[in-house]
Chains A and B, each alone.
Chain A
Amino acid sequence: MIAHEPGMPLCGTEVPTYLDRGGLQTYVVEHRPVQPWRAVVVLAGPMSLERANCSLSWVRWARTLACNGFLVVRFDYTGVGESTGSFAEQTFDTWAVDLGTVVRVARERHPDARLFVNGLRLGALLGQAVGDCDGLLAWDPPTNGRAMLADMLRRKLAGDYMDHVGERKTREEYIRELESGAVLEVEGYPWSRGLWSSADRHTFAPRGQHHVIYLDGRPAERLPDRQHGESLRIGSPPFWVQPRSLVSDLSELFQRSVARLEAWS
Chain B
Amino acid sequence: MREVLELEVAGERLVGTRHVPPDPGARMGVLLLNAGFAPRDGHGGLAALTADALAARGIPAYRFDVPGIGDSPGPLPARILDFFELVTSGAFADVTAALVRDLCVREGLDRLVLGGLCGGAVTAIFVGAREPARVCGLLLLEPEMYVTEPKIDVPSKRRQLPGLLGRLQRQTFNYWGWMRLLANEGPRSQWVPFPRQTILNFLRGRPDFPAVTNVPLVDAWRELVRDARPSLVITAAGKMPEIFFDRINDVALRGVDTRSVRHIRLKNTNHIFTTGGAIEAVLSHVLPWVESVG
A residues neighboring B (CB under 8 Å): 6-7, 10, 14, 16-18, 25, 27, 29, 48-49, 52, 55-56, 59, 63, 79-82, 84, 87, 159-166, 185, 187-189, 243-247
Contact = CB atoms under 8 A, between A and B. Distances in A.
A87 B80 contact: no
Contact of B272 (A17, A48, A165, A188): A188
A207 B79 CA distance: 39
Sorted nearest first, the 4 A-B pairs with minimum C-beta distance are: A188-B44, A7-B75, A188-B274, A6-B76
Interface string B44-55: 111010001000
Interface in B146-193: 184-185, 187, 190
Contact of A189 (B37, B38, B45, B270): B45
Contacts of A245: 78-80
Interface stretch (B2-10, B103-111, B135-143, B284-292): B2-10
Given A162-B270, A166-B267, A188-B46, 9 more contacts: A16-B6, A16-B15, A17-B4, A18-B3, A29-B71, A81-B39, A185-B274, A188-B43, A245-B79
Interface string B179-216: 00000110100100000000000000000000000000
Given A82-B2, A245-B80, A246-B80, A56 B44 contact: no
B83 A246 contact: yes
Contacts of A27: 2, 4
Interface string B24-41: 000000000000011111
B270 A81 contact: no
Contacts of A243: 37, 80
B68 interface: yes
Interface of B: 1-4, 6, 15, 17, 37-46, 48, 52, 68-71, 73-80, 83, 184-185, 187, 190, 267-270, 272-277, 279
Most A C-beta atoms less than 10 A away, residue of B2, B71, B187: B71
B70 A59 contact: yes
Contact of A10 (B43, B73, B78): B73
B187 A162 contact: yes
A243 to B, nearest CB: 7
* B interface secondary structure, majority: loop
Contact of A163 (B3, B41, B44, B269): B269
Given A6-B75, A246-B37, A164 B184 contact: yes
B3 A6 contact: no
A72 to B, nearest CB: 13
Contacts of A82: 2, 17, 40-41, 48
A187 B74 contact: no
A10 B12 CA distance: 13
A89 B176 CA distance: 41
Contacts of B73: 6-7, 10, 14, 63
B4 A18 contact: yes
Contacts of A165: 268-269, 275-276
Contacts of B43: 49, 52, 187-188
Nearest to A87: B45
Contact of A166 (B17, B52, B79, B268): B268
A33 to B, nearest CB: 15
A166 B80 CA distance: 30
A18 B1 CA distance: 10
B77 A185 contact: no
Contacts of B184: 164
Contacts of B46: 188
A123 B1 CA distance: 26
B2 A7 contact: no
Nearest to B272: A188
A63 B74 CA distance: 12
A56 B76 CA distance: 10
Contact of A188 (B52, B83, B279): B279
19 contacts: A6-B68, A7-B68, A7-B76, A14-B15, A25-B2, A48-B44, A49-B274, A52-B39, A56-B76, A84-B2, A161-B187, A163-B275, A164-B190, A185-B275, A187-B43, A187-B44, A189-B45, A243-B37, A247-B77
B270 to A, nearest CB: 5
Given A163-B270, A188-B46, A16 B71 contact: yes
A189 B44 contact: yes
A25 B71 contact: no
B273 A14 contact: no
A55 B39 contact: yes
Contacts of B3: 18
A247 B270 contact: no
Contacts of B69: 56
